[in-house]
Amino acid sequence: MTSNYLKLRFPSLPENVGLARMMAASFAAQLEFTLAEIEEIRVAVSEAVSNCVIHAYPGKPGLIQMNLAIKNNNLVIKIRDYGKGINDIEQAKQATFSTEPERMGLGLVFMESFMDDMGIESQPEKGTTVVMKKHPERGSANAGLSRIS
Amino acid sequence: MTSNYLKLRFPSLPENVGLARMMAASFAAQLEFTLAEIEEIRVAVSEAVSNCVIHAYPGKPGLIQMNLAIKNNNLVIKIRDYGKGINDIEQAKQATFSTEPERMGLGLVFMESFMDDMGIESQPEKGTTVVMKKHPERGSANAGLSRIS
Amino acid sequence: MRIETERIGGTLFIQINGELDLHTSPMFKETVEEKLAQYDFIKHLVIDFTNVEFIDSSGLGVILGRFKHMTQRGGRLSAINVSAPLRKVFELSGLLRIMGIYDDRRQAMGN
Amino acid sequence: MRIETERIGGTLFIQINGELDLHTSPMFKETVEEKLAQYDFIKHLVIDFTNVEFIDSSGLGVILGRFKHMTQRGGRLSAINVSAPLRKVFELSGLLRIMGIYDDRRQAMGN
Ligand SMILES: Nc1ncnc2c1ncn2[C@@H]1O[C@H](COP(=O)(O)OP(=O)(O)O)[C@@H](O)[C@H]1O
Ligand SMILES: Nc1ncnc2c1ncn2[C@@H]1O[C@H](COP(=O)(O)OP(=O)(O)O)[C@@H](O)[C@H]1O
């Protein structure tokens, strides 16, 4: 069986944040996520894509790539930009840290809280790649049951 | 203003037909299409992507590319595969013509009827590219009005 | 997609919920063919389209396939609750002309 | 997103319909700030979350901004009808602790 994937490329326009989270949610629906888990995925994607729009390309819109994949019953989301990059990732991850005065500095905190796993790679002036993974709680239980019956 | 686009790559699995049409419909919602027009777009995309799944890659799944763009208040949809190709495009376009006995041979007819414009390029064993365009009826009227007022 | 069936005498009622396309139509076909094989006295298939959110030529194809099967076994197929957007593709496909299309169960049974 | 506002005396009720994110939050901010500038006697902002289908940190940011503004002008901000999924992000963000969260209009007005 070919396991499924979906690769997207779109410009960093604010109206695409909603599109990106809807696509991630629809793709995720292939796994047995609960509605609450799908909500968490929507928030995480919204945060990551919003960061590309605001921080990576503050001047004019640039390219965002979002790759969605199913790997061993895990949802894997990779979001990449070719923008400004992050100087100090540990600092960026701290709650309430933001380089923009009007923002809450909670995006990376939400991404870490709502996904099972989150990793960031970034190079100043080259861009940033965020990889997030999530496993359906229910799905793992069901997989067990269906094997037994 | 950067005009919007969305480029997708996914494998030709039957479950992706629904995803593709949902993404096209969500993207199209940026223009002032009526609900009836959005329905027509969903059918056209469903037909084009189904053709890639069944006809382009009959054996095992291959790559489908779908590019969505807004150009001069037009929705432009390009769907491309690298599969079997079409021998005789004029024949393929005829209502009820199908190379599969169980199919209706209406996919290309629906695409032509529901979109303002449809073009096909194909090379046997190289693949097929379908480009479809649609203009919101209402949108053009409104654009006129807003220019006047 | 989710399918509900109910058999009353020689009539099989089928309610389709969701989208009928390339992905879901094989399941529709299987469900109906199973029932037809099980009860050979079924002579009338009534498909309720109330909750059909989408149909394309793959979906119409399996409907036409069931129409042909019913005709073969001396029976018929009726469609009920076909909304305006669906009616358009039914019409374009020619299914509107050959199939019985009724407002509801009662009308479909009356004919 | 669509916003409805209703002013009763010194209280401004705001109903948000749809998704509050990076794209839509500037419109929310503008609408509220306009009303606050127009009526300087508004001392209580009551935001109804019944129809909020989504909120992320960009959305929470503009809520916090309005909270700060109300505090500055000696007023307050209340949230009503906050569903369970929203409550989680409210809690994680700390907004749950600083804002008044009530079941409905009446409760918000009573406090
Ligand atoms: N894709 C990105 N490109 C550049 N900088 C980023 C990116 N994502 C995050 N950052 C940096 O990390 C900081 C913290 O991000 P986050 O926790 O999402 O909070 P916020 O978006 O509210 O600032 C940002 O203020 C920004 O400096
Ligand atoms: N992407 C494609 N790749 C290869 N062949 C195609 C493709 N799209 C259409 N065709 C050919 O054109 C014919 C007519 O297509 P269509 O009108 O959609 O009807 P149907 O899918 O019911 O066969 C198909 O039977 C097939 O032979």
Asked if A2 and B10 come within 8 Å (Cβ–Cβ), the reply is: no
Residue A2 has pLDDT above 70, yes or no: no
User: Residues 6 or more apart from B7 whose CB is under 8 A from it?
Assistant: A8, A9, A10, B65, B66, B67, B68
Query: How does pLDDT run across C79-97, given as a tens digit for each residue?
Result: 999 999 899 999 999 999 9
Contact D53/D87 with Cβ under 8 angstroms?
Answer: no
Give the C-alpha separation, C93 to C61, whole Å: 9
pTM score, whole prediction: 0.92
Task: Report which secondary-structure segment, H or E, holds D37.
Answer: helix D25-38
The answer to whether the CB of A82 is under 6 A from ligand 1 is: no
Contact D46/D108 with Cβ under 8 angstroms?
Answer: yes
What positions of A carry a catalytic annotation? 47, 51, 103
pLDDT at C101: 92
Query: How does pLDDT run across B30-44, given as a tens digit for each residue?
Result: 999 999 999 999 999
pLDDT at B143: 45
Residue B149 has pLDDT above 50, yes or no: no
Measured in Å, residue A14 CA sits from the centre of ligand 2 at: 38
> What sign results for the dihedral spanned by CA atoms C35, C36, C39, C41?
positive
- Look at ligand 2, atom 9, and give the residue with the nearest C-alpha: B51
Contact C103/C48 with Cβ under 8 angstroms?
Answer: no
Give the C-alpha separation, A86 to A56, whole Å: 9
Q: What is the ipTM of this complex?
A: 0.92
- Look at ligand 2, atom 3, and give the residue with the nearest C-alpha: B56
Nearest to D65 by CA among D39, D92, D47: D47
Task: Report the mean per-residue pLDDT for chain B.
Answer: 92
Residue C65 has pLDDT above 50, yes or no: yes
Give the C-alpha separation, D92 to D104, whole Å: 22
pLDDT band at D110 (very low <50, low <70, confident <90, very high): confident
pLDDT band at B3 (very low <50, low <70, confident <90, very high): confident
Q: CA of C89: which chain B residue's CA is closest?
A: B110
Contact A58/A125 with Cβ under 8 angstroms?
Answer: no
Residues of A with CB under 8 A from a CB of D: 14-15, 17-18, 21, 36, 39, 42-43, 46-47, 50, 53-54, 102-104, 106-107, 109-110, 113
Q: DSSP per residue over chain A, as a string? A: -PPPEEEEEEE--THHHHHHHHHHHHHHTTS---HHHHHHHHHHHHHHHHHIIIIISSSS--EEEEEEEEETTEEEEEEEE-SS--S-HHHHHSTT--SSTTS-S-HHHHHHHHSSEEEEEEETTTEEEEEEEE--HHHHHHHHHHHH-
Name the packing angle between helices D57-72 and D84-93 (round to 10°).
70
Residue B125 has pLDDT above 60, yes or no: yes
Measured in Å, residue B11 CA sits from the centre of ligand 2 at: 18
pLDDT at A54: 97
When mean pLDDT is compared across A80-84, D4-8, D24-28, D96-100, the lowest value belongs to D96-100
Percent of chain C with pLDDT over 70: 99
Query: How does pLDDT run across A92-147, given as a tens digit for each residue?
Result: 999 999 999 889 999 999 999 999 999 999 999 999 999 999 999 985 544 444 43
Query: How does pLDDT run across D14-47, given as a tens digit for each residue?
Result: 999 999 999 999 999 999 999 999 999 999 999 9
Contact A63/A33 with Cβ under 8 angstroms?
Answer: no
Are 3 or more Cβ–Cβ pairs between C and D shorter than 8 Å? no
pLDDT band at B101 (very low <50, low <70, confident <90, very high): confident
Query: How does pLDDT run across A49-60, given as a tens digit for each residue?
Result: 999 999 999 999
